[in-house]
Amino acid sequence: MWKKSVKFGIAALLITGVLAGCGKSDSTAEGNADNGEAKQESYSGTITLAGSTALQPLAEEAANEFMGKYPNVSITVQGGGSGTGVNQVAAGAVQIGNSDVPSAEKLEDKSKAGELIDHKVAGIAFAIVVNKDVNVDSLTLKQIQDIFSGKITNWKDVGGKDEKINVINRPASSGTRATFEKTVMKGVKINEAIGTVQDSNGAVEQAINSTPGSISYVAMSYLIGEKKDLKTLKIDGVEPTVENIKTEKYPFWSYEYMITKGEPKDAVRGFIEYVKSEEFAPKVKEMGYIPMSELE
């Protein structure tokens, strides 16, 4: 009888233990979920980004969405060009430097190169754009080089009408210009004595619209939406599409970088991860950029 009682007692303890274990597991899972949610909601602080005007619209959109998810985070996005972004983050003036080129290409104090980390967050195509009155649809790389070096000065020499070519360039600090020099000019020197200089993609857009016979280059993100007056030219007959970039048919594109001084932490890390995430990828495409998932 005692043995039978012991068996029932052990069985009862086992059942109780299993039930207790289940309860603890559920409680732990809930606790972990709560902790995970609390960890996400714990993002707080102030983040300042500066640099590339090509990346600026995407950074601003990501900032608005991120602050919507994490109300205790305040994010400010400034322009200034890739060189400004790289050197400000190197100096510790901002938390993130936005750039169209790797930081090493724009860093003034080379001794700080080892402190900077380049985070690829998207890809972007750039386009040769002209005023809507220019009746040319495509230029070869050689023709573009000749225009920006000052060898060709009239549209009639490249199949257009008899009209002066008005070159609109970007300043030396511009990452968009650096990409243009690397992928289009290919060592041919830009003639600084011709045309005018505009300090942002937005300023170029305005100048092209208001200057007859003008030509320049802008990020494709600035051609999304209602900007119908800017006319995009093909390069060697090839359009600036994602597929043409992936198959290496279209040359004028680059990665977009968010650069930090050292490994990013807390809200800065969370923000950069959000920009690269699958969750944000549809917005990246909608705004004229290329998600990293399509380039890797």
Confidence of residue 172 (pLDDT cuts 50, 70, 90): confident
pLDDT(200) > 60: yes
**In which residue are the tokens 């020197």 written?**
189
How many Cβ atoms sit within 10 Å of the Cβ of residue 133? Answer: 13
Residue 67 Cα to chain centre, angstroms: 18
CATH class of 45-123+256-294: alpha beta
Whether the predicted model's global pTM rises above the 0.85 cut: no
Task: Note the pLDDT tens digit of each residue in 42-91.
Answer: 899 999 999 999 999 999 999 999 999 999 999 999 999 999 999 999 99
**Residue whose C-alpha is closest to residue 255's, from 90, 77, 98:** 98
Task: Note the pLDDT tens digit of each residue in 230-252.
Answer: 899 999 999 998 889 988 999 99
For domain 124-246, the CATH architecture is: 3-Layer(aba) Sandwich (3.40)
Domain with CATH 3.40.190.10 in the chain: 45-123+256-294, 124-246
Average pLDDT in the 92-108 region?
Answer: 96
CA distance 116 to 259: 7
Percent of the chain exceeding pLDDT 70 equals: 84
CA torsion angle 279 280 282 285 (round to 10): -150
Tokens of 229: 């007056």
Percent of the chain exceeding pLDDT 90 equals: 75
57-71, 145-159, 209-223: segment of lowest average pLDDT: 209-223
pLDDT(144) > 90: yes
Burial of 62 (0-12, 13-18, 19+ CB in 10 A): buried
How many Cβ atoms sit within 10 Å of the Cβ of residue 275? Answer: 27
